[in-house]
Amino acid sequence: MAEPRRVPPPAPEAFVSIAGLSLTYGAPGQVLVNALQDIDIAIDKGQFVSLIGPSGCGKSTLLRIIGDLLSPSTGKVLIGGSEPREARLDREIGFVFQDAALLEWRRIRENIALPLELRGTPKAERERKAEELIQLVGLDGFQKAWPRQLSGGMRQRAAIARALSTNPRILLLDEPFGALDQITRDRLNMELARIHEVTGVTVVLVTHSIREAVLLSDRIVVLTPRPGRISRFIDVDLPRPRGLEVRNDERFDDLVRLGNRELEKGYM
């Protein structure tokens, strides 16, 4: 067990602040697993941050803690000054999972409007918002399609639209494009960059692709293997808006190399 650690005060200027966060799980009497240790991250409003690390490093776990799907053992997360639970109840969190998790019994438009429906938003406004999001994510013409009729990439677009329906202040994405082919993935990366630019939403993306992280992020947080600790921050100083051609940039390659070196430290 790590010795108790003084929790540093969260940086007041940061929009999201994660301070002294650790997660240990396991029932009493069992071997305790240290999933995350001493995580301190500050994220500015509108920033795009990626969490990257080897599988099992706890990056998804960290994202789930931010989204109030899990509670940390120690430490604190604040989103715009509120605890994750408050932020969630105020519908300020949008979450996109690796699986699109659409409701097969609802048409695409009703899937996108689901969080609004659960909040009790009137029907006319729900439909207006859903229509706006359908345009934003490029699903025009599929309003009345069933989820099963859509390809994997389109299902993920719908999941992003659904996550944005309540105008959240933070969008959390857990390896959302991991199951997609490279071309679809490139296209959705560009869509995500555009959505981030247009909406100005703060984004935290979990990915295992350093190239994806460099392409999209302002800042990359590299985590070590279990227990997940912060190995280093990489600030991505590539100009915005970025297109896929930024990958031909020398600076892009430098950053990818830097990231890979940092990741490799973990396995060596």
- Positions touching another protein (CB under 8 A) are 67-69, 88-89, 91, 93-95, 97, 99, 101, 103-106, 114-115, 117-119, 146-149, 162, 166
Task: Return the number of the residue (40 or 110) whose C-beta is nearest another protein.
Answer: 110
Task: Return the number of the residue (169 or 242) whose C-beta is nearest another protein.
Answer: 169
Gap between the Cα atoms of 258 and 211, Å rounded: 11
The answer to whether 196 and 202 are in contact (CB under 8 A) is no
Least Å distance, CB 133 to another protein, is 15
Task: Return the number of the residue (15 or 97) whose C-beta is nearest another protein.
Answer: 97
Radius of gyration of the chain (CA): 19
Least Å distance, CB 111 to another protein, is 10
Least Å distance, CB 70 to another protein, is 10
Task: Return the number of the residue (115 or 227) whose C-beta is nearest another protein.
Answer: 115
Least Å distance, CB 103 to another protein, is 7
Task: Return the number of the residue (69 or 190) whose C-beta is nearest another protein.
Answer: 69
Least Å distance, CB 78 to another protein, is 18
Token digits for 230?
């912060």
Q: From the CB of residue 116, how many other CB atoms can be counted at a distance below 10 Å?
A: 21
221: which residues sit within 8 A by CB, 6+ positions away?
41, 49, 50, 51, 52, 230, 233
